[in-house]
Amino acid sequence: MSAIDRLFETLRAEKRKALMPFITAGDPDLDFTADLLKQLDACGCSLCELGIPYSDPIADGPVIQASYTRALDRKTHLADIFEMTRRIAPTLSMPIVSMVSYAIVFRRGIASFVAEAQAAGIAGAIVPDLPVEEAEPLAEVCRREDFSLIQLVAPTTPRERAIRIAESSTGFLYYVSVAGITGERTRLPADLAENVAWLRARTSLPICIGFGISQPEHVRQLAPVADGLIVGSAIVRRIAQADRQPRDQVLAQIADYIRQLLGALES
């Protein structure tokens, strides 16, 4: 049972839902990322997705692309990210899951990546460019090492395929809300809640919804059907201010925003 499995077991027992921020490792630098992780944990986030910057993120919109570019321009290397989480993870109550391209996992070597990530206190991975047909070599290592491999279902996924993906995913299932790239949306698809509910009736795996979620209203609307909600670009857009404004101020602004979302989650 990974830290993510334990998290959702507790949340379900307490009838609570997870708020899961996404942040980029190394934007604007790893010291800020470490402070932000502590801040998000202190606010009461359930889990944090830590984006490993990648040079060619085809699933990401302009906000996260720019964030990855800033992190890579500062020479943020995987080893440095792991070094930072090794220090910080033991001080947090929320688990960290990495969002990482398969290009990076493969380059490290599958077994090495999983071993190093685990040693660095990371509980699992979301690999957005690794569909279920290609996932087995990584999934096998993840199962053996009890490292969660969170798979994704998209609005374009046929229903029988969605069930197959749910069966092979561990930790939770990432439900992509819109056919498109990451980024804030004012409105989410009308049939989203219905589609998630359909899948929920067919898997015991926790389902978390991501892509496009940015407003307290989205959170209120989707919390009843999901186990958790993922917010990325809306936070990363605020992180982008950290180069221009005092860092304490940026951390405080993000904390305010997170509290608004948490308030909506509990209402």
Partner 1 sequence: MTESMTHPGGQTGQVPDALGRFGPFGGRYVPETLVAALDQLQAEYRSAVEDPLFHATLDELLRDFVGRPSPLYHAKRLSEHCGGAQIWLKREDVNHTGAHKINNTLGQALLTLRMGKQRVIAETGAGQHGVATATACAHFGLPCVVYMGEEDVRRQAPNVFNMKLMGAEVRPVTTGSRTLRDAINEAMRDWMSSVETTHYILGSVVGPHPFPMIVRDFQAVIGREARQQCLARLGRLPNSVVACVGGGSNAAGMFSAFIADGQVELVGVEAGGRSAKPGDHSASLTFGSPGVLHGSFSYVMQDEDGQTGQVHSLSAGLDYPGVGPEHSFWKDTGRVQYLPCGDEAALEAFDLVARNEGILSALETAHALAQAIQLAASRPKDQIILVCLSGRGDKDAAEIARLRQTAM
Interaction residues for partner 1, span 17-56 (CB under 8 A) = 54-56
User: Between residues 51 and 128, which has the closer beta carbon with respect to partner 1?
Assistant: 128
Measured between alpha carbons, how far is 214 from 123 in angstroms, rounded to an integer?
Answer: 25
Q: Is 49:22 a contact under the CB 8 Å cutoff?
A: yes
- Nearer to partner 1 by Cβ, of 54 and 257: the residue is 54
**Interface segment toward partner 1; rule CB under 8 A; list 2-10, 41-49, 178-186, 244-252:** 178-186
Asked if 131 is part of the footprint of partner 1 (rule: CB under 8 A), the reply reads yes
Strand partners for 19: 229
**Catalytic residue flag (residue 140):** no
Does residue 136 interact with partner 1 by CB under 8 A?
Answer: no
- For partner 1, which is the closer residue by CB, 87 or 107? 107
Question: Residue 163, class by beta-carbon neighbours within 10 Å (0-12 exposed, 13-18 middle, 19+ buried)?
Answer: middle
Q: Does 199 contact partner 1 by CB under 8 A?
A: no
Distance separating alpha carbons of residues 70 and 199, to the nearest angstrom? 37
| Nearest to 31, CA basis, from 74, 94, 90, 63 | 74
DSSP for 152-179 reads EE-TTS-HHHHHHHHHH--S-EEEE-SS
Handedness of CA 232, 238, 241, 245 (dihedral sign): negative
Active site annotation includes 31 = no
Whole-angstrom distance, CA of residue 95 vs CA of residue 6? 10
> Does residue 167 touch partner 1 according to CB under 8 A?
no
- The verdict on 168 binding partner 1 (CB under 8 A) reads no
Of the candidates 35, 110, 116, 129, which one interacts with partner 1 according to CB under 8 A? Answer: 129
Does residue 189 interact with partner 1 by CB under 8 A?
no
Q: Measured from the CB atom, is 69 or 241 closer to partner 1?
A: 69
The catalytic position among 5, 60, 184, 227 is 60
Binding of residue 181 to partner 1 (CB under 8 A): yes
Q: What phi, psi does 2 have (nearest 5°)?
A: -85, 170
What value, to the nearest 5°, has the Cα angle with vertex 227 and ends 225 and 232? 100
Q: Which of residues 56-115 bind partner 1 (CB under 8 A)?
A: 56-61, 65, 69, 72, 77-78, 101-108
Out of 7, 36, 122, 153, the residue judged to bind partner 1 by CB under 8 A:
153
| Closer residue to partner 1 (CB): 131 or 216 | 131
Per DSSP, the residues of 48-82 read EEEE---S--TT--HHHHHHHHHHHHTT--HHHHH
Q: Hey, which residues are catalytic here?
A: 49, 60
Footprint of partner 1 (CB under 8 A): 54-61, 65, 69, 72, 77-78, 101-108, 128-131, 133-134, 151-158, 161, 165, 176, 178-181
